[in-house]
Structure formats: C-alpha cells, structure tokens
Structure 1
Amino acid sequence: MSIFSWLRPAQPLLPQMLQQRLERLPASSPLDERSLREQRWVVLDLETTGLNLNKDQVLSIGAVVIEDGAIDFSQQFERTLQCDKQKLGPSVLIHGLAPSAIAAGSDPAEALLAFMEFVGDSPLLAFHAPFDSHMLGRALKDYLGYRLQHPFLDVADLAPMLCPQANLRKAGLDEWIDWFKLQVFDRHNASADALATAELALILFSRARQQQIHSPLELQQRLGQWKRRQQAPSL
C-alpha cells in the first residue's frame, strides 16, 4: 500500500443496485460537428445551501432538455435532496425551499444518480456554469465517487459573446430575460430557472447560426477564443 493512500478520500459505499446503475452510466461525449439543432442539450439549474464552493451543498436540481431545436417538455427533471438542517443557510429564503420539503427530499446519492441517467452522454448548459459545474461535480464525487466530465457551456458567456450590442457583459439571468423581453412568470427555483435559461439558449443558438456558428464544437471553440480575448490585458 502506498504511504499516500490514506490521503485519498474513501469511495462512498453504495447499495448494490445503485452501484450497478452507476456502472451502466454512459461515458460523456465530446462536442462534435453535428448541427446545433441535432444536439441534445441538458439545461440545468441548482439551488444550494449557499455560495461557498467547498462547504455548501446542493439542495435541488432542475433540468430541461433542448432537442430538435426546441424545449422538449416531455423530458424534465426535478428533485429536492435531503440535507442536514445545520447546513441550511439564508439562501433558503431566496429559493423558497421549506425545511420540511428538504427533510422529505430524496436520498442525495439516488437523486444524483437519477439525474446523471437523465443526462446520459449529453452536454450541459447553465447560467454561470462554473458554479453549477463545481457544485454538481463535488456532490457527484462525494455521494457516488463519480467524476463529472461532460462538456459544460456557460450561457452567461454565450449571451454577451453572441449579442455584444446588448452591452451586458456581466449581467445576470434577469437582465438577459429583460433584454430579450422573455415572458418568465416564475424565478428562483431550480426548474423555473432551468426553463428560463433554456429559452435564452434557444435564442442564442439562433444568433449563433446567424454568425455562421453551426455546430456545438464550433460554438465551444468560438467561446474559448472569445473568453481568451476578454482575459487578455488591454494595451
């Protein structure tokens, strides 16, 4: 045994049925040259106990699917996860999840596994994706010993890249909803925010095609180039 083996986090012990389901999860697929319309996208939003990337926990997951160029309302995911009462923070007041609903929520390992079964090998979209990616990835590792490797694009970056005329470089989801005059009747819960993000993403995919960006791979590459330009020091 390596003298450093004690430093490695222990793999969670899962019931046999969950372990078998975990082993059947498909590998993530890289973005390719298929059209934006042909690609199945999973748009997600997380509600958490707070904004601390290392300490706070996922409370709920909401997700919808974009497929064939439209939101597929037959493919939706919503799950509240159980959480220790001691870890509930002020964010509960924002997303409106009552402690009783959290206490009655799903076992986190089962809920997270069900979500990854819903995702399959599809890429993910979120608004402020680095936060969702980190929180989801940490939860999957902690509860399932699973490493998240799916492509994860940030709608908060796609929007200013594709719509520079809006002059909303670091705007939130509400600002982009207002700019595009989207009719959104509910906010600040995971499912509603995922749906609003999906509606925004569809508009952005249309703008991408107008700018000769036709595939998920092209979109990913263009986004990477744009982000590097934004981070470059101005002369």
Structure 2
Amino acid sequence: MFKNLIRKWQRKKLLDKKYDFLFDEAPYGEFISLDCETTGLNPKKDEILSIGAVLIKENKVLMRKTFNIFLKPSKNINPESIKVHLLREIDLQNAIEPDDAIYKLLEFIGSRPIVGYYIEFDMSIISKYTKQLIGIKLPNEAIEVSGMYYDIRKSTENYGFIDLKFDTIMKFLDIPVLGKHDALNDAIMTSMIFLKLKEIQKQNNSQKNKL
C-alpha cells in the first residue's frame, strides 16, 4: 500500500512523460541485472564511469540483450579509485555524455525489477542523475542478491556469521568467475547468482509444502 502511494507520487513528479513507461507493469518473468563502476562510494558526490546490465527472461540470462556503456567523468579520475574500478583515462576515450547514457539505460531497463549486489548503492547513484533529468528517483523495484543469499543460509547456519562477500556467494553457488572485472561481467555474474538463488528458494518452498 505504502509503496503504491510512493509510486503514484513519483509518477506525478515525472517531468518528461515520455518516461511514463517506467511505471508500467513489469513484463512477467523479466528482470534486469545491473552493476555500476563509479569514482567512489558516495552517491551524492561521486560519478558513474560505466554501467553494465543484462536482461533475465524466463529464468535465462539473455547474452544477446546486454547493455554496456561508459560515461564521461566531469573531472580527472582519482588515481586511487582506479585500483577499485580499473578504468583509466584512456579506457574512457569513447565514453558518452552522462545524460545520454542515463536516457539509454532507462530505455533498456523499462519497468523491470533491477537485480544487483548491494544494489541500493547503484540505484542511489543512478537516481542522482534521473532526478536531474526526469525529476524522480529510479522507480523500479530493487532485488538484493546478498539478501536472498542471507535468507537461504540463515535457515541452515543457526544464525551464525554469514559471509556476504561476492566471491563467497559465487563459490558457494559454484558459479564460474568471469575473467575481467567490469560492470557488464559483474552484472552477468550477479544474474547467475540470482537465478541459482531463485531455484534454491523454489526447492526449499517445495520441501516445506510437503511437510
């Protein structure tokens, strides 16, 4: 109920009605797995350098439906941050203007739920741009894979410590690590995590129903 009220309020605040499709009912069984590489971890002052995303449909990762884009930073990249996102000035030579990148992203994701690893940060920093461009935060539902993983593990770990690191989750689910660390590869790996966790949830629910 409360979420519906927020969405109605956001829809009224939308500056460009061309993007009213963000509030449409999401296509059944479709999700977008998304990851951003940024200049830092403060969504209020840092910038997005690249966005990677992939479409999940009918429990499949559609590799032909990927989104991979680089954004021009407003200033020189801090050398310390390069150690994290691994993007150098030369890697961003063909980057596009942030506004154009965000508009393209909105067209790609549509009204689908967005899946991610610590997706709250990605949604927050993207929303910084969308608020300037269309007047609202990104309205899509967010699905956190580390939360899904925690819920599954806590039922068997007797509430002991549960390691939520990305690599730990990947290893537990026996998902191969893609070679290069970048936004698109991270989005693809996150999509595989999501599908495996969904399948485990389904199996667990099935077992509960039999009891």
The TM-score range, normalised by the shorter chain, is 0.7 to 0.9
Structure 1 Cα separation of the partners of residues 87 and 18 of structure 2: 32
1:194 matched to 2:184? The reply is no
- Give the aligned partner of residue 227 of structure 1: none
CA–CA distance in structure 2, aligned partners of residues 27 and 143 of structure 1? 14
Provide the C-alpha distance between the structure 2 equivalents of 1:160 and 1:112, rounded to a whole number of angstroms: 31
Unpaired stretches in structure 2, ≥5 consecutive residues: 1-14, 207-211
Q: Secondary structure at the match of 1:188?
A: coil
1:30 positional shift: 6.2
1:27 is paired with a residue of what secondary structure? helix
Number of equivalenced pairs: 189
Matched, 1:71 2:61: yes
TM-score w.r.t. length of structure 1: 0.72
Q: Match for 1:51 among 41, 49, 54?
A: 41
Q: Is contact 1:58-1:139 (8 Å) kept?
A: no
Corresponding position: 1:116 with 2:101: no
1:135-158 deviation digits (Å, cap 9, x = unpaired) = 111122234434311101111111
Task: Determine if the alignment matches structure 1 residue 181 to structure 2 residue 174.
Answer: yes
When the two chains are superposed, the root-mean-square deviation of aligned CA atoms in Å is 2.4
Taking the TM superposition and a 5 Å limit, the aligned residue runs for 1:1-235 are 23-29=18-24, 38-86=28-76, 88=78, 90-164=80-154, 165=156, 169-212=162-205
Task: Give the corresponding residue for 2:7.
Answer: none
Following the alignment from structure 1 to structure 2, what is the Cα–Cα distance between the partners of residues 168 and 150? Answer: 31
Structure 2 CA distance, aligned partners of 1:129 and 1:204? 16
Decide which structure has greater helix share: 2
Instruction: Tell me the SS of whatever aligns to 2:65.
Output: strand
How far apart, in 2, do the equivalents of 1:58 and 1:199 lie? 24
Which 5+ residue runs of structure 1 have no aligned equivalent? 1-18, 214-235
1:25–1:120 contact (8 Å) kept in structure 2: no
Q: SS at the partner of 2:41?
A: coil
Task: Quickly say closer, same or farther: Cα 1:114–1:97, change in 2 above 3 A.
Answer: same
Name the CA distance, whole Å, in 1 between partners of 2:184 and 2:35.
7
Identity of aligned residues (%): 24
Q: CA 1:180–1:201 in structure 2 vs 1: closer, same or farther (change >3 Å)? A: same
